[in-house]
Amino acid sequence: MIAKRYLFFIWLSMTACVAGCETIQESLNIRKPTARLTGLKIEDVKLDSATLLFDVEIDNHYPVALPLSNFDYSLSSGAEKFLSGSAKSQAAVPAKSSTTVSLPATINYIEMLKALKGVRPGSKIPYGAELGLSVDTPALGVIRLPLRKEGELVLPSISDADISDIWNIIKPK
């Protein structure tokens, strides 16, 4: 009889473990931080590249600041992925507040034009952006917050590039 109770207790314990952390988190009322991609813009336009800024709003429910450790990203247009990568982030979200951080990525025009055949400078490109933002939480450790956004991106034309970039390329040495 004692052996049956012991086996039942082991089975019950294993079932509770298999139920997963999410059930435990719900029962302890642990909330994850939330994030949403609010904007995507192009800055620092050069002849060969530009900086793409992902604006992400993050809500911190914790009584301590949350450091952001890194983020990964990919952009596609239709079925063609034209930008992907990852970067470290040194930002932090203050305790019990929301903040918007700008996460930079570099677009190389040549690579993008190879991936998106027929696209010309000045064109509007429909895109799908997928990001993952890693946040170090006190209760859950490092977690990845997935983000998704769709929209249109206008590829800068050469007239948008800084004229000093052109001079730096052609000036005599």
Indicate whether 94 and 159 sit together in one domain.
Answer: yes
Indicate whether 74 and 24 sit together in one domain.
Answer: no
pLDDT tens for 33-69 read: 999 989 888 888 888 888 889 999 999 989 999 999 8
- For residue 10, what are the domain limits? 1-30
Q: What value, to the nearest 5°, has the Cα angle with vertex 81 and ends 129 and 155?
A: 70
> What per-residue confidence (pLDDT) applies to 9?
54
> What per-residue confidence (pLDDT) applies to 148?
92
**Among 21, 41, 46, 25, which Cα is nearest to 159's?**
46
Residue 153 in tokens: 């991106």
DSSP E strands in the chain: the ranges are 34-43, 49-59, 66-77, 80-88, 92-93, 98-108, 124-137, 141-154
Query: How many distinct structural domains can be found in the chain?
Result: 2
Indicate whether 144 and 80 sit together in one domain.
Answer: yes
Indicate whether 63 and 1 sit together in one domain.
Answer: no
Residues of the chain where predicted confidence (pLDDT) is lower than 50: 12, 18-19, 22-28, 160-161, 163, 166-167, 169-173
Q: Alpha carbon 49 to chain centroid distance?
A: 20
Indicate whether 26 and 37 sit together in one domain.
Answer: no
Indicate whether 21 and 46 sit together in one domain.
Answer: no
Backbone φ, ψ for residue 160 (5° rounding): -80, -15
